[in-house]
C-alpha cells in the first residue's frame, strides 16, 4: 500500500551531482518550451525546466535557427537541454555546445514518435538499437566529462507491448545515464490511450538510478502515488498549457489562483514572448489561446479575437481590456 503521507513533492533529491529542491518538473515540448514559457512555469514552482528537443545535427552544422534554441537566461537555472540525433559523435559535439550555453543537465531524446525524427534513426527509433543508444549515452557522458548529468527520455517501447524501453534502459544506465525519464506509452500510440504508470513504477524498481514519470500528470494524488511507489520525480507537459499555475496547485494542494492573478500571469507571459520573439510572437501565442480559454483565463470571444490578432499591439489591447 502506498504511503502518501511520506511522499513529498518538495523533498530534495539529485540527478547525478545536480541537486534539485523539488520533485515536480516541467517536461520538454517542441514548439512550446521557449524561455518565456519556462519562466512562466518556474514562477509557479516547476523545479527543473527543459528546452525543447534540439537537433544535434543542426547544432553541429551551425544552423542559425537551431542555435537559437540554445538561448537560455541567467535566471533559468536549473535547466535541462534536450538533444535528438542518432550519431554519437555528433551528439557529443552538440552536448559540448549545450554546456557552453549553460545546460545543467543534458537529456537525449529516445522518445519522439514523429516520423520526421524517427526516420533519421533518432527519437524513439533508438529503442530498437540498444547498442547505438548506449553508444550515444557513452559519447555524451564522455564529452561533458562529468560537468553535468546525462539523462535519457524513453517511451515504453515502439509497438504495443514490446517493452523496448524496459530492455534498453539498463544498458543506458551502464553507459552512464544518471536518470531515466519515462513516457509510458508506446511510440505507435503517439498520444492515444492512457499513460501506463505501472510501467513507470516497475522501471523505478528495476533501475539503480532515478526514474521520472511523464504522461497525464495533472493530479496531486497521482504525483504522490508515484513518489510513494519509488518513482523519483514527476513531470508536467500538456496540463501546463494555458495553466502554468498547475505547478503551484500540485506542489501545495491548492486551487487555481483567482482570475486577476491568472490574467496578470498571462499578460506577463505575453510581454516576455514579445520581447523574445518580436514579430514571431503572435504566431507562437496562437498555440496558447485555446488553452487559456479552457482554463477560464480568457473568454471565448476574446480567444477568437486573439486568434486573428495581426500583431502584438492588438494582442496587448485585447488583454488589457480583459
Ligand X SMILES: Cc1cc2nc3c(=O)[nH]c(=O)nc-3n(C[C@H](O)[C@H](O)[C@H](O)COP(=O)(O)O)c2cc1C
- Binding interface with ligand X (CB under 6 A): 27-32, 52-53, 82, 109, 111-112, 153, 183, 214-217, 236-239
Q: Of the two residues 114 and 147, which places its CB atom closer to ligand X in the complex?
A: 114
Q: Catalytic: 112? A: yes
Q: Of the two residues 114 and 268, which places its CB atom closer to ligand X in the complex?
A: 114
Ordered alpha helix ranges (H), 19-87:
35-43, 56-60, 64-68
> Phi and psi of 269, rounded to 5°?
-55, -45
Q: Of the two residues 18 and 53, which places its CB atom closer to ligand X in the complex?
A: 53
d(CA 35, CA 71): 8
List Cα–Cα distances, 195 to 28, 199, 214, in angstroms. 17, 9, 8
d(CA 154, CA 286): 29
Q: Of the two residues 4 and 30, which places its CB atom closer to ligand X in the complex?
A: 30
Count CB atoms within 10 A of the CB of residue 212. Answer: 24
- In angstroms, what is the minimal distance from the CB of 26 to ligand X? 9
Residue 164 grid cell:
523496448
- In angstroms, what is the minimal distance from the CB of 85 to ligand X? 13
> What are the beta bridge partners of residue 151?
107, 179
Q: Of the two residues 83 and 143, which places its CB atom closer to ligand X in the complex?
A: 83
Neighbour-count burial of 301, counting CB atoms closer than 10 A to its CB (0-12 exposed, 13-18 middle, 19+ buried) = exposed
d(CA 281, CA 297): 19
- In angstroms, what is the minimal distance from the CB of 155 to ligand X? 9
- In angstroms, what is the minimal distance from the CB of 38 to ligand X? 13
- In angstroms, what is the minimal distance from the CB of 181 to ligand X? 7
d(CA 300, CA 38): 26
Enzyme catalytic residues = 112
Amino acid at each position: 500500500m502506498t504511503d502518501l503521507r511520506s511522499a513529498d513533492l518538495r523533498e530534495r533529491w539529485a540527478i547525478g551531482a545536480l541537486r534539485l529542491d523539488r520533485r515536480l518538473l516541467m517536461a520538454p515540448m517542441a514548439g512550446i518550451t521557449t524561455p518565456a514559457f519556462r519562466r512562466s512555469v518556474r514562477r509557479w514552482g516547476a523545479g527543473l525546466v527543459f528546452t525543447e528537443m534540439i537537433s544535434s545535427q543542426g547544432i553541429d552544422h551551425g544552423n542559425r535557427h537551431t542555435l537559437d534554441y540554445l538561448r537560455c537566461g541567467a535566471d533559468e537555472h536549473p535547466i535541462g537541454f534536450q538533444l535528438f540525433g542518432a550519431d554519437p559523435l555528433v551528439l557529443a559535439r552538440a552536448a559540448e555546445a549545450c554546456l557552453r550555453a549553460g545546460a545543467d543537465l543534458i537529456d537525449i531524446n529516445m522518445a519522439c514518435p514523429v516520423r520526421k525524427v524517427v526516420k533519421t534513426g533518432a527519437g524513439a527509433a533508438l529503442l530498437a538499437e540498444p547498442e547505438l543508444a548506449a553508444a550515444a549515452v557513452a559519447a555524451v557522458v564522455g564529452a561533458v566529462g562529468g560537468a553535468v548529468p546525462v539523462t535519457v527520455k524513453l517511451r515504453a517501447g515502439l509497438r504495443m507491448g514490446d517493452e523496448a524501453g524496459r530492455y534498453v534502459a539498463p544498458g543506458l544506465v551502464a553507459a552512464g545515464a544518471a536518470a531515466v525519464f519515462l513516457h509510458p506509452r508506446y511510440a505507435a500510440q503517439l498520444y492515444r490511450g492512457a499513460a501506463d504508470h505501472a510501467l513507470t513504477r516497475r522501471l523505478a524498481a528495476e533501475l539503480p538510478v532515478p526514474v521520472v514519470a511523464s504522461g497525464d500528470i495533472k493530479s496531486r494524488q497521482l504525483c504522490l502515488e508515484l513518489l510513494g511507489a519509488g518513482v523519483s520525480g514527476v513531470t508536467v507537459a500538456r496540463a501546463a498549457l494555458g495553466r502554468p499555475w498547475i505547478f503551484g496547485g500540485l506542489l501545495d494542494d491548492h486551487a487555481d489562483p483567482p482570475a486577476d492573478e491568472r490574467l496578470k500571469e498571462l499578460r506577463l507571459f505575453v510581454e516576455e514572448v514579445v520581447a523574445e520573439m518580436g514579430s514571431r510572437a503572435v504566431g507562437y501565442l496562437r498555440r496558447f489561446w485555446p488553452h487559456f480559454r479552457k482554463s477560464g483565463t480568457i473568454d471565448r470571444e476574446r480567444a477568437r479575437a486573439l486568434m486573428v490578432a495581426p500583431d502584438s499591439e492588438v494582442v496587448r489591447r485585447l488583454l488589457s481590456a480583459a
